[in-house]
């Protein structure tokens, strides 16, 4: 294959017409079809989580399962394997080679699973997720556990097939779906380092802040006004409303497709800023999606690099930028305009309130110091679950044990705020949770690199001018899609491999200085 000139996406528009690339052309057409089916599936899933009446659950689950099977059939057609092998001998430039690499990865992963397992897992996930919506508010662990056991059964079957082919542990086989080339051995090293310093940092931050009495915002805060504030903030963060929208769901998420990004949040009229920072978080996801290489849309190379890189963008927006002192100062006038003035909105108090460290039960509402504890807890449990070391019935006791050890909180009998709070396991998303703390590490390292490249960044944020920062992200992360491996992408953007020291330095600077 030709190693030639390293083309940029702008220089190569994704159209291949040369006759000596006929097998590659067949692949691009096939993956374009797959992308269109995925588009329909993404929007149907968004509707299921936001708009669909309860009575539509069974039919929607069956329809989504049918789409999943159809995509699986297209992806595992024997011709695809033949074309991949033949295209490897064709005269492809470096961008096309990267696209072929991602095509091969997707094909090989799909080819390991029988169609019957794809359908069964999809149906089980739809049933579990739909039931979870009512079981969680009712604190019905027993009902939820029955559905979860079925999801775990199929997830273990999938993990076993993948592990046998890859020569790794069952959990690593699922982790690789979300984080290509990442292993639990690598995670264990990263997380072991975090465990050596995070508990002390957390205790010191809580102790330091205990001497700073804070005034809590006083509600109620009408949902309609919270939504207006969220939309205004999304605009400031560059969200393209011509290619996306904001809605409500039981669990905040970013879905849809780059041309039509759907983000959601949830509102509590007694709590002002949880929904807003949920919106800021999801806007980070959305900006990444909206800025993936348009010329290659429909091809695997135009997809997000990995879930941790995706989470790095949301945490870059929410934590590195959104909870920075400069950004919070800019936010105060808008908060006062929507909700009036009150002592809690005095500048020093408002900033301290939004940078407070207070261990709690709910992961999505956690401050960034205690957040890794929530993630590592889930990582430990799901790894043991998929590897067969524990069963679903063991989860509540393990959850409580780890919450006590990390955060000093008990979840005995409180399943709603404990092991039932997340949506990820309902559809078999085992291997996703490590992405959050990996994402926080990537975000801290990226923000540090951006500060070096943009010496006036603090003042630009204080003035509300985020254009240079977003240009930096576009140039270094967004425009590349999956062209490079995660390790290559981070090394090129920051000048070095992933290191947890930037995350630690960020937390110490913000919360202990």
Residues assigned a catalytic role? 282
**Could you tell me how many helices (H) and strands (E) the chain has, helices first?**
20, 3
Residue 72 counted as an annotated binding residue: no
Q: 3-class DSSP state for residue 496?
A: coil
- The answer to whether 463 touches 332, Cβ cutoff 8 Å, is no
- The answer to whether 483 touches 301, Cβ cutoff 8 Å, is yes
State how far the Cα of 419 lies from the Cα of 399, in Å rounded to an integer: 7
- Residue 351: name the closest of 217, 192, 171, 159 by CA: 217
Q: 3-class DSSP state for residue 237?
A: coil
Using H for helix, E for strand and C for coil, what is the string for 406-453?
HHCCCCCCCCCCCCCCCCHHHHCCCCCCHHHHHHHHHHHHHHHHHHHH
How far is C-alpha 211 from the geometric centre of its chain's CA atoms? 35
- The answer to whether 221 touches 339, Cβ cutoff 8 Å, is yes
State how far the Cα of 29 lies from the Cα of 31, in Å rounded to an integer: 6
- Residue 305: name the closest of 166, 478, 503, 103 by CA: 478
Q: Are strands 254-257 and 244-248 parallel, antiparallel or unpaired?
A: unpaired
- Residue 184: name the closest of 203, 165, 167, 171 by CA: 171
**CA dist list (Å): 196 to 41, 200, 226, 512:** 43, 8, 39, 17
Q: How many residues does the chain have?
A: 513
Residue 281 counted as an annotated binding residue: yes
Residue 368 counted as an annotated binding residue: no
Angle at 287 between CA 282 and CA 288, to 5 degrees: 100
Which residues are annotated binding-site positions for Zn(2+)?
Answer: 281, 285, 311
Which residues are annotated binding-site positions?
Answer: 281, 285, 311
């Amino acid at each position: 294959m030709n190693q030639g000139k390293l083309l940029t996406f702008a220089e190569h528009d994704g159209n291949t017409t040369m006759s000596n690339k006929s097998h590659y052309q067949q692949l691009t057409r096939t993956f374009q079809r797959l992308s269109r089916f995925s588009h329909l599936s993404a929007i149907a899933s968004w509707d299921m989580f936001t708009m669909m009446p309860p009575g539509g659950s069974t039919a929607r689950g069956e329809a989504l399962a049918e789409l999943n099977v159809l995509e699986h059939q297209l992806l595992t057609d024997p011709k695809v394997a033949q074309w991949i092998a033949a295209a490897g001998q064709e005269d492809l430039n470096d961008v096309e080679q990267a696209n072929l690499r991602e095509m091969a990865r997707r094909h090989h992963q799909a080819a390991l699973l029988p169609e019957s397992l794809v359908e069964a897992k999809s149906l089980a996930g739809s049933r579990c997720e739909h039931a979870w919506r009512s079981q969680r508010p009712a604190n019905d662990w027993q009902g939820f556990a029955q559905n979860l056991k079925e999801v775990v059964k199929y997830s273990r079957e999938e993990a076993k097939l993948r592990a046998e082919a890859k020569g790794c542990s069952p959990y690593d086989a699922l982790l690789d779906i979300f984080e290509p080339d990442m292993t639990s051995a690598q995670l264990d090293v990263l997380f072991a380092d975090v465990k050596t310093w995070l508990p002390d940092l957390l205790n010191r931050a809580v102790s330091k802040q205990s001497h700073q009495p804070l005034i809590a915002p006083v509600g109620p805060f009408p949902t309609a006004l919270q939504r207006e504030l969220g939309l205004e903030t999304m605009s400031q963060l560059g969200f393209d409303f011509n290619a996306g929208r904001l809605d409500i769901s039981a669990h905040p998420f970013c879905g849809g497709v780059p041309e039509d990004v759907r983000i959601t949040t949830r509102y509590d009229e007694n709590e002002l800023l949880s929904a807003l920072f949920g919106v800021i978080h999801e806007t980070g996801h959305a900006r990444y999606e909206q800025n993936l290489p348009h010329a290659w849309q429909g091809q695997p190379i135009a997809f997000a690099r990995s879930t941790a890189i995706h989470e790095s963008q949301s945490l870059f927006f929410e934590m590195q930028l959104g909870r920075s002192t400069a950004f919070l100062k800019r936010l105060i006038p808008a908060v006062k305009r929507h909700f009036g003035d009150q002592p809690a909105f005095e500048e020093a108090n408002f900033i301290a309130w939004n940078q407070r460290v207070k261990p709690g039960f709910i992961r999505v509402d956690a401050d960034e110091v205690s957040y890794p504890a929530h993630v590592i807890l889930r990582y430990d449990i799901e790894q043991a679950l998929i590897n067969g070391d524990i069963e679903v019935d063991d989860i509540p006791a393990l959850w409580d044990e780890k919450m006590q050890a990390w955060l000093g909180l008990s979840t005995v009998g409180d399943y709603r705020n404990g092991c039932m709070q997340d949506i990820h396991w309902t559809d078999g998303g085992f291997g996703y949770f490590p992405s959050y703390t990996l994402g926080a590490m990537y975000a801290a390292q990226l923000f540090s690199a951006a500060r070096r490249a943009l010496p006036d960044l603090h003042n630009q944020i204080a003035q509300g001018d985020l254009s240079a920062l977003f240009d930096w992200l576009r140039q270094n992360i967004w425009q590349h899609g999956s062209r490079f491996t995660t390790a290559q992408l981070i090394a090129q953007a920051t000048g070095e491999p992933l290191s947890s020291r930037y995350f630690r330095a960020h937390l110490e600077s913000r919360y202990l200085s």
